[in-house]
Each structure stands twice: as structure tokens, then as C-alpha cells.
Amino acid sequence: MDEKSRLTGVIIICLSFALLALICLPHAVQAAERPVYLVDLDGTITAGQNNYLQRQVEKAIASDAQLMVLVINTPGGLVDATLEINRLFMNAPIPIAVIVAPSGAIAGSAGAFIIISADIAAMAPGTTVGAAQPVSISPEGTESADDKTVTFYANHLRSIAEEKGRPPDVAEKFVTENLTLSAGEALDIGLIDYIVIDVSELLAAVDGLVVEKQNESYILQTKDVPLYSDEMNLREMLQNWIGDPQISFLVLILGLLGIYFGLGAPGTIVPEVTGAILLILGIYGIGLFDTSTTGIILLLLGVGLIIAEIFTAGFGIMGIGGAASIIAGAILMPVEPLMAREWYATFMITVVGTVIGLLIILIFVIQRIIHSRKQWNESSSYLKPPQKGIVITDLNPEGMIKSQGELWKARSENKSLIKAGTEVEVARAETLMLYVRPVVDQENQPGGSEGMSNDKY
């Protein structure tokens, strides 16, 4: 009986272990198959790059990714965008790895801030990091920031380095002394964790690594895991392009020149409209307007231009400019966290469809105007005014007459008053002004009423 009991106990224990294995196995497989998000960041750090990274982190979290790897090669960038990326990396509930690659790449200025704020830092052989002293940018060029600004950012980067367990004195010297380090030097002093050739070698190196972040432990299983990556969307590409300091200053100057030439030659319309749009984009590019403000201003400008096109003879120029402004404003519209992203896709389709419809109408109107002008030029070489008409408003000495269904501006030939309802004949025409006189009373002429004109007015 005891032997049977022991056998029964062994069977129960084995079944329990088997059941536990069946329960845990799917979770183990799922953990092993959790993807890694790969993001390339090449060029100047801008608001567009920042928004792109934020979207990638959100997607990585939503897809239960175990790690996000950022490959950077940047000479630097805008301070606001860089600090936003620092906050994003330090507070993201997912480990962030940054690698300076490929060989020959640099992590200058803003790049040094980014690599220090990473949970895992790596560099490829032949890469460089550092030279993070802030500068002021103006149309005349660049110059070193004041001592107060340098001290602030030096202490800020030192604080980030202390939080991430990297040498704070080196981080401080990046800002105060423009210190630069090679990959080997950075590894020797503990600024980075690995020297690897590429992302594949980095993933192999961190396989099994435990990352401590925000009182949480993350065990990486990065061997043979799927890699996911995504490109910038249209909004991010526009923000990235206009956010480049060189591009933004050029756009700003072109906008000012457009408005200047437009005011110097009133009625040309093209310089004013183009200049206004470029001026707003240039101001946004240099950071004086945030994305939300710029999007709203461009939308309002676009609507105003289209309304002006309806009520004035803009020959389609203001309408086309308004359409371009609305599209740019829609692209830069702020993403409200409580709104579904699908709504923004539908919104963009609606905006583009509406703008295309307006452009088709404008093209049709412009075509009809051109056709009518061409027809006038082909049909007549000079203006043929009417010979007779009926006074509509008293000519004292100017007013209006009607002839063959058309209204004409008219003036009494001898400046005398001609009452409304009087039949007049045209003595002469100067441009579009008709000089008229009353028709002689037909009843006093030979033939009486039989001699009256049959002209219709």
C-alpha cells in the first residue's frame, strides 16, 4: 500500500511538472521571440527626428519589443529636440541601446547627449564621440554660447551620466572643453559598454544581459530575434527638412525677400503669397514656433487665401497658395494623445481631397478666363462701343446706360443733366467711358414715329 502511495505521489509530481512546463513553455517561446526595434538616425537632430523616435518607441512598446536599437551618425542638432530625446530614452519602459555606426560615423554634440542617456552604449571601430559645447546660430554664422548656458548644459549632462553609471567628469568635459573620444578611449574610461562592428554583433554581445532601469529588470534574449524598422512618415520628413538650421534660415530669408518684393510691386501676388508661407515655415524651423502653432497658422492662412481668391481677381495664385498652405498645416497638425491615429489618416485624406477639388475648380476658372481672353483677342482688334442706349441712372454728368443688355459707364457730352429713361446716342468713347448726348426727338423729324430706331436696349 505504501509502495502504491509512493508511486501515486511520483506520478502526481511528474504530471504537475509536465503541466507547469506546458504552461510556461508558451511564455518562454514568446519571450524568446519578442522583437527588437531598429531605428536609423542620420544627420542633424531636428524636431522631425525627435517625433520619429517618439513614434518608434511607442510602436516598440505596443509590440512588446524587448529592446530598441538606435544607430546614429550625427554632427549635432537642435537643443530642444536633443533634450526631448534624452527624456524619452530615460523614461521609456523599454531598454534603449545606442550604437555609433558604421565605421567613420560620429556622435558629435547632440549625439554625445544621446549616447550618454542610453541604457546600452556602443561604438563601431573608427568612430568618434564628443564636442558637445552649445553654440548660438544666427544668419551671420555660429558662435559659442555664453558661460551661463555652457555651465547649465555641462551640469545637465553630468547628471545624466551619473544616472546611467557613466563617468560624469568626462560628460562634463564634452560640454566645457569640447572633449572628443575615439571608440577605444570611450570604452577604456567606461563611457560606452561595447565596441562592435554592427547591430548584429551588438545583439550577440547583449544576449542574456540583465538591464536595470527604473527599478525594473529586463532580461535580453536577442539571439536570432526578428528586427523591425520603420521609415519616417510625411509629417516627420517635413519637420526634419525644415528643422535643419541651414534650410530653415534659407527658407526664412526667401520668405522675407518674397514679402519685400511683393510690397515693392503691389498686385504681383506671387511673391507675397509664397513669401508668407515660407516665412512661417522658416520661423518654425528656427524654433520660434512650435509644431502646433505653425500648423494652425498655416491652416488659417490657407483658408484666408482661398477666401481672398473667391472675392478678388487673384487669377488662381492665391487659391493655389492657400491649398499649399492648408496641406502644410494639415501635415504639421499636432497629434492629440486622446485621438486615434486612424483619425489623422482620415483627416489627411479629407484635406488632400478637398484641396484637390479646389484646385480643379481653380484650374477650370483659370482656363475659362484664358479662353475668353484669347477669344476676345482673336475676334476683335479694338473695342466697339454701342451706338445708342437708355440712361439707367441720371447722368450728372456721369452715370450708367444700358445697351443690348450690357451696362456701360457714361458721361454727358456737354456735362448737362440727362434724366434716367432718356434715350442717348454715343458721341465718342474714351477707353471704357462713353460720352453721350440725348437722341434728337424723332417726332419732330420727317417721317414721325416711322423713322424711330428699332434698336433694343
Tens-digit pLDDT string for the chain (457 aa): 455 556 555 555 555 555 554 444 443 333 446 899 999 999 889 888 988 999 999 999 999 999 999 999 999 888 888 999 999 999 999 999 999 999 999 999 999 999 999 999 999 999 999 999 887 665 555 667 788 889 999 999 999 999 999 999 999 999 999 999 999 999 999 999 999 999 999 999 999 999 999 889 999 999 889 899 888 888 788 888 887 877 888 888 888 888 888 877 766 677 888 888 888 888 877 766 767 777 788 888 887 887 777 666 556 677 778 778 877 777 776 554 434 455 455 655 666 676 677 667 666 766 666 665 555 444 444 557 888 999 999 998 899 999 887 888 899 988 889 999 999 999 988 877 899 999 875 444 444 444 444 455 5
Q: Give the integer Cα–Cα distance in Å for 61 and 36.
A: 10
CB of 105 closer than 8 Å to CB of 84:
no
Helix axes 47-62, 79-91, angle to 10 degrees: 10
CB of 301 closer than 8 Å to CB of 325:
yes
Amino acid code (one letter) for 412: S
pLDDT for position 370 = 62
The verdict on pTM exceeding 0.95 is no
pLDDT for position 89 = 94
pLDDT for position 288 = 66
CB of 299 closer than 8 Å to CB of 326:
yes
User: Could you tell me the three cell numbers for 39?
Assistant: 531605428
Residue spans of alpha helices (H) in 41-182: 47-62, 79-91, 110-116, 147-164, 168-176
pLDDT for position 313 = 58
169 forms bridges with which residues in the sheet? none
Give the distance, in angstroms, between the CA of residue 19 and the centroid of all CA atoms in the same chain: 55
* Residue from 271, 261, 334 nearest 297 by CA: 334
DSSP state of 146: P
pLDDT for position 334 = 55
SS3 192: coil
Q: Give the integer Cα–Cα distance in Å for 114 and 116.
A: 5
pLDDT for position 193 = 96
pLDDT for position 18 = 54
